[in-house]
């Protein structure tokens, strides 16, 4: 895995992998609420707080961890389908995270490959990226449809690398949950954590090469790094 100094000095990475939910669009609370509602409608007892702690996983990992339900069971499929229906109705009310489009534009102008790596399915990804205002900027995407297992398993990160034709050691993952960080670590990719996904403390995001508030803060950080080396273990102060 690239060291922090080599990762940032002169934007030496060639490929940037983006999570979507909580990273480019403020959707994590909506995911938690719609999972919670779908579970209640199927008489599955789970607190909203517990559901929220697992947002960032796909249904293949979330349902077993939350309620011991296989996503391939009839019950699991029914819950997941209902959750998808509920979440689709929430998408029009979601908003981009601060600086999402500006960050992606900057990376593209810097000639870096930009790729999506998310546990959502392809149709949902398209809707979320359009709502986030970056759909036109990121045509290369790896989603639930490209991987056997969702985050925190590394499959989606590895699929994104394949789609981009990128090496793990020359890439960086940007995400907002411990599941993004674990998936990237297992794929051999350095990771940056953003706080804008909410819920998680900086301690929960340990292992990231940097922890910043949101895409706008990361954009400031990247611009500064082109002028000078980034200090070891740099973390942007919480605003």
In degrees, to the nearest 5, what angle opens at C-alpha 120 toward C-alphas 45 and 65? 30
Q: DSSP E strands: which ranges in 11-153? A: 15-18, 113-117, 140-142
Task: Please check the confidence at residue 106 and state whether its pLDDT lies above 90.
Answer: yes
Q: Do the beta carbons of residue 11 and residue 225 sit within 8 Å?
A: yes
For residue 71, name the pLDDT band (cuts at 50, 70, 90).
very high
Q: What percentage of the chain carries pLDDT values higher than 90?
A: 81
For residue 11, name the pLDDT band (cuts at 50, 70, 90).
low
* pTM of the shown model: 0.89
pLDDT of 227 reads 45
pLDDT of 226 reads 67
Domains with residue ranges and CATH for the chain? 4-26+95-225 (3.40.50.1000), 28-93 (1.10.150)
More confident residue, 12 or 127: 127
Nearest to 54, CA basis, from 40, 64, 42: 64
Average pLDDT over residues 31-56: 97
Average pLDDT over residues 173-194: 96
pLDDT of 232 reads 40
Average pLDDT over residues 149-176: 94
Sheet with strand 15-18: strands edge to edge: 140-142, 113-117, 15-18, 171-175, 190-194, 210-212
């Amino acid at each position: 895995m690239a060291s922090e100094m080599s990762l940032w000095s002169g934007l030496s990475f060639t490929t940037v992998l983006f999570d979507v939910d909580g990273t480019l669009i403020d959707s994590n609370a909506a995911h938690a609420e719609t999972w919670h509602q779908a579970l209640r409608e199927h008489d599955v007892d789970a607190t909203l707080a517990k559901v929220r702690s697992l947002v960032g996983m796909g249904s293949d990992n979330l349902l077993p961890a939350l309620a011991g339900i296989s996503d391939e069971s009839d019950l699991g499929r029914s819950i997941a389908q209902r959750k998808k229906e509920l979440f689709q109705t929430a998408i029009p009310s979601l908003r981009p995270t601060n600086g999402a489009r500006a960050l992606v534009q900057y990376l593209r102008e810097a000639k870096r490959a930009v790729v999506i790596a998310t546990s959502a399915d392809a149709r949902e990804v398209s809707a979320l990226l359009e709502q986030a205002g970056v759909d036109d900027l990121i045509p290369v995407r790896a989603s639930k449809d490209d991987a056997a297992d969702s985050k925190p398993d590394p499959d989606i990160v590895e699929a994104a690398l394949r789609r981009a034709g990128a090496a793990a050691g020359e890439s960086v993952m940007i995400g907002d949950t411990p599941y993004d960080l674990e998936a990237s670590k297992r794929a051999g990719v350095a990771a940056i954590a953003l706080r804008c996904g909410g819920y998680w403390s900086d301690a929960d995001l340990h292992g990231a090469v940097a922890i910043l508030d949101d895409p706008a803060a990361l954009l400031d950080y990247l611009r500064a790094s082109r002028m000078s080396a980034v200090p070891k273990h740099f973390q942007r102060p919480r605003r």
